[in-house]
Amino acid sequence: MNLLLFARHELKDSRLRLTDRRARHILTVLRLQPGDSLRLGMINGDRGSGRVRRVEGGCVELEVTLTEPAPAAGGVELILALPRPIMLRRVLKQATVLGVRRFHLIRSRRVQKSFFQTTLLQPGNLEALLVQGLEQAMDTRLPEVFLHHRFKPFIEDVVPSFVPACRLFAHPDEPATLPDLFAAGEIRGDPVLAIGPEGGWSDYEAECFKARGFRGFSMGTRILHVDTAVVALLSQLQLAQDLLRRR
């Protein structure tokens, strides 16, 4: 935990009282005592510091001072064919660390309907997982998560509402790679990135993406697990954006 996060409603007159895992982290990992300070931030708000005022049993009371604005908005909008729950947990946390600002979890032809029944997708469980990613990245902007149970309504009704942007979709059958698209000047701004299941999108799904302005690319000859592909692609896109800014 590089940044302790709290919700707006938890703050009372600049005082924050903790009794949950955050208090345990302060006491058993950081080993802070009254008078010590740590970094903290308000979810979707500013960052700053908290000074330990009192420790009583498993309760920690902090005096909060917020002086630093949240990191600038931006980041990738990720369309993801919903993976199985154990993999989804890893993807959501790591993608949040890497700055994804919005998730669209969709059902493609190769996604089992039962994946949408996981308790991980309940709002409280989702937020807890995303907060862990923000704590690691020292960010406060909670990503948005949208569930789409059917592919056709998503591609026909939701995708056209996206703000015009660089649109990319990963697919094993595409001849181009991300370096090819970068060299051709097709990567710009904060992209919308679509990543399918390990077997790739169906032919129909790939054509739907292309018809709506998405540029397809592959990651080469190796087929990666979804969680590995997400981290690799987000890292490559971040590098491409950094190179563009230096031009």
Range of the domain at 47: 4-68
CA distance 187 to 179: 9
Last residue of a domain, one of 68, 89, 116: 68
CATH number for the domain that contains residue 17? 2.40.240.20
36 and 84, same domain (yes or no):
no
Written as tens digits, the pLDDT of the chain (247 aa) is: 899 999 999 999 999 999 999 999 999 999 999 999 999 999 999 999 999 999 998 999 999 999 998 877 778 999 999 999 999 999 999 999 999 999 999 999 999 999 999 999 998 999 999 999 999 999 999 999 999 999 999 999 999 988 877 999 999 889 999 989 988 888 887 899 999 998 889 999 999 999 999 999 998 888 889 999 999 999 999 888 888 878 7
- Number of structural domains (the chain) is 2
152 and 87, same domain (yes or no):
yes
CATH number for the domain that contains residue 201? 3.40.1280.10
140 and 234, same domain (yes or no):
yes
102 and 153, same domain (yes or no):
yes
CA distance 3 to 80: 27
Dihedral over Cα of 160, 163, 166, 169: its sign: negative
The SS3 assignment for 18 reads: strand
112 and 221, same domain (yes or no):
yes
Length of the chain, in residues: 247
The two three-digit tokens of residue 4, written as one number = 């302790």
Give Cα separations from 211 to 116, 143, 186, 215 (angstroms). 27, 27, 16, 10
Specify the DSSP element, H or E, that contains 167: strand 167-170
10 and 118, same domain (yes or no):
no
237 and 128, same domain (yes or no):
yes
Q: 109: which DSSP letter? A: T
Residue pair 55/34 in contact (Cβ under 8 Å)? The answer is: yes
47 and 124, same domain (yes or no):
no
86 and 190, same domain (yes or no):
yes
> What is the pTM assigned to this prediction?
0.92
The two three-digit tokens of residue 116, written as one number = 């949408």
198 and 232, same domain (yes or no):
yes
Last residue of a domain, one of 68, 95, 116: 68
84 and 148, same domain (yes or no):
yes
Last residue of a domain, one of 68, 95, 120: 68
Within 184-246, where are the H helices?
203-211, 226-246
Rg (CA), the chain: 20
16 and 112, same domain (yes or no):
no
CA distance 73 to 203: 34
CA distance 102 to 95: 10
